[in-house]
Chain A
Amino acid sequence: MRRNPKELEFTHRKLTRRALLLGGLQLAFAGGLAARMRYLQVDQADQFRLLAEENRINIRLLPPARGEIFDRNGVALAQNSPSYRVIIVPEDAGDVGEVISKLSRLIPLEPEDVERALAEMRRSPPFLPVTLADQIGWEDISKVAVNAPALPGITPEVGLTRVYPQSQAFAHVVGYVGPVSDYDLSKMESPEPILRIPRFQIGKVGFESKREDALRGKAGAKRVEVNATGRVMRELDRREGEPGADMQLTVDAELQSYVQARLGTESAAAVIIDCQDGDVHAIASSPSFDPNLFVRGISVADYRMLTEDPYRPLANKAVQGTYPPGSTFKMVTALAALEEGLIGPDETVYCPGYLEVSGRRFHCWKRAGHGHVDLNTSLKQSCDVYYYDLALKVGIDKISAMANRLGLGVRHDLPMSAVASGLAPNREWKQRVHGQDWLIGDTANASIGQGYMLASPMQLAVMTARIASGRNINPRLLKSIDGIEQAGSAAEPLGLNENNLRTVRRGMFSVSNDRRGTGYRSRIIAEDMRMAGKSGTSQVRNITAAERAAGVIRNEDLPWERRDHALYVCFAPFDNPRFAVSVVVEHGGGGSKAAAPIARDVMLQALYGGTPPLAAYPKGDRSRIKAQQERLERERIKREETGGNDRA
Chain B
Amino acid sequence: MSYLEHHAKSTPTGLRKILYLNWPLTLLLASVAGVGFLMLYSVAGGSFSPWAEPQAKRFALGMAVMIVVALVPIWFWRNISALAYLVSLVLLLAVEFFGTVGMGAQRWIDIGFMRLQPSELMKITLVMLLAAYYDWLPAEKTSRPFWVLVPVLMILIPTFLVLKQPDLGTSILLMAAGGGVMFLAGVHWAYFAAVITAAVGLVTAVFQSRGTDWQLIKDYQFRRIDTFLDPSQDPLGAGYHITQSKIALGSGGWSGRGFMQGTQSRLNFLPEKHTDFIFTTLAEEFGFIGGFTLLSIYVLIIVFCVATALAARDRFSSLVTLGIAITFFLFFAVNMSMVMGLAPVVGVPLPLVSYGGSAMLVLLAAFGLVQSANIHRPR
Contact B249 A48 (CB under 8 A): yes
Report the bound CA distance from A580 to B270 in whole Å: 75
Contact A19 B246 (CB under 8 A): no
A40 in contact with B3 given A18-B184, A33-B333, A228-B269 (CB within 8 Å): no
B172 to chain A, nearest CB (A): 15
Contact A30 B246 (CB under 8 A): no
Instruction: Indicate which residue in A3, A34, A52, A233 contacts B292 across the interface (CB closer than 8 Å).
Output: A34
Residues of B within 8 A of A229 (CB): 268
Asked if B322 is at the interface of the complex by the 8 Å CB criterion, the answer is yes
Contact B251 A19 (CB under 8 A): no
A41 in contact with B185 given A30-B299, A56-B267 (CB within 8 Å): no
Within 8 A of A (CB), among B216-246: 244, 246
A23 in contact with B306 given A11-B315, A15-B186, A18-B184 (CB within 8 Å): yes
Contact A48 B247 (CB under 8 A): yes
Query: A-B contact count, CB below 8 Å?
Result: 137
Asked if B337 is at the interface of the complex by the 8 Å CB criterion, the answer is yes
Report the bound CA distance from A40 to B298 in whole Å: 20
Instruction: Indicate which residue in B246, B269, B309, B322 contacts A55 across the interface (CB closer than 8 Å).
Output: B269
Within 8 A of A (CB), among B173-188: 180, 183-186
Contact B250 A45 (CB under 8 A): yes
Contact A22 B251 (CB under 8 A): no
Asked if B148 is at the interface of the complex by the 8 Å CB criterion, the answer is no
Instruction: Indicate which residue in B267, B287, B295 contacts A41 across the interface (CB closer than 8 Å).
Output: B287
Within 8 A of A (CB), among B246-287: 246-254, 263-264, 266-269, 283, 287
A15 in contact with B3 given A55-B247, A55-B269 (CB within 8 Å): no
Asked if A16 is at the interface of the complex by the 8 Å CB criterion, the answer is yes
Asked if A183 is at the interface of the complex by the 8 Å CB criterion, the answer is no
Report the bound CA distance from A55 to B265 in whole Å: 11
Report the bound CA distance from A365 to B295 in whole Å: 109
A52 in contact with B184 given A16-B310, A37-B295, A42-B288 (CB within 8 Å): no
A388 to chain B, nearest CB (A): 81
Interface flags for A16-58 (1: CB within 8 Å of B; 0: not) read 1011101100110110011011101110110111011101100
Within 8 A of A (CB), among B129-186: 136, 138-139, 180, 183-186
Contact B254 A51 (CB under 8 A): no
Contact B247 A41 (CB under 8 A): no
Instruction: Indicate which residue in B246, B266, B302, B315 contacts A15 across the interface (CB closer than 8 Å).
Output: B315
Contact B249 A33 (CB under 8 A): no
Contact B253 A45 (CB under 8 A): yes
Residues of A within 8 A of B288 (CB): 37-38, 41-42
Residues of B within 8 A of A16 (CB): 310
Asked if A14 is at the interface of the complex by the 8 Å CB criterion, the answer is yes
How many residues does chain A have at the interface if contact means C-beta atoms less than 8 Å apart?
43
Size band of the interface chain B makes with A: 35 or more
Asked if A2 is at the interface of the complex by the 8 Å CB criterion, the answer is yes
B334 to chain A, nearest CB (A): 10
Report the bound CA distance from A12 to B309 in whole Å: 10
Interface flags for B99-111 (1: CB within 8 Å of A; 0: not) read 0000000000000
Asked if A7 is at the interface of the complex by the 8 Å CB criterion, the answer is yes
Residues of B within 8 A of A53 (CB): 263
Contact A11 B186 (CB under 8 A): yes
A15 in contact with B287 given A26-B329, A37-B249, A225-B267 (CB within 8 Å): no
Contact B247 A227 (CB under 8 A): no
Within 8 A of A (CB), among B336-354: 336-337, 340, 342
Report the bound CA distance from A1 to B333 in whole Å: 38
B44 to chain A, nearest CB (A): 15
Contact A51 B318 (CB under 8 A): no
Asked if B291 is at the interface of the complex by the 8 Å CB criterion, the answer is yes
Report the bound CA distance from A231 to B287 in whole Å: 27
A-B contact pairs, 23 of them (CB 8 A): A1-B136, A15-B315, A18-B184, A22-B322, A22-B326, A23-B302, A23-B303, A23-B306, A26-B329, A27-B299, A30-B333, A34-B292, A40-B249, A41-B291, A45-B253, A48-B250, A49-B251, A51-B251, A52-B247, A55-B267, A56-B264, A56-B269, A228-B267
- Which chain A residues have a beta carbon within 8 Å of chain B's beta carbons? 1-3, 7, 10-12, 14-16, 18-20, 22-23, 26-27, 29-30, 33-34, 36-38, 40-42, 44-45, 47-49, 51-53, 55-56, 225-229, 233
- Which chain B residues have a beta carbon within 8 Å of chain A's beta carbons? 3, 136, 138-139, 180, 183-186, 244, 246-254, 263-264, 266-269, 283, 287-288, 291-292, 295, 298-299, 302-303, 306, 309-310, 315, 318-319, 322, 326, 329, 333, 336-337, 340, 342
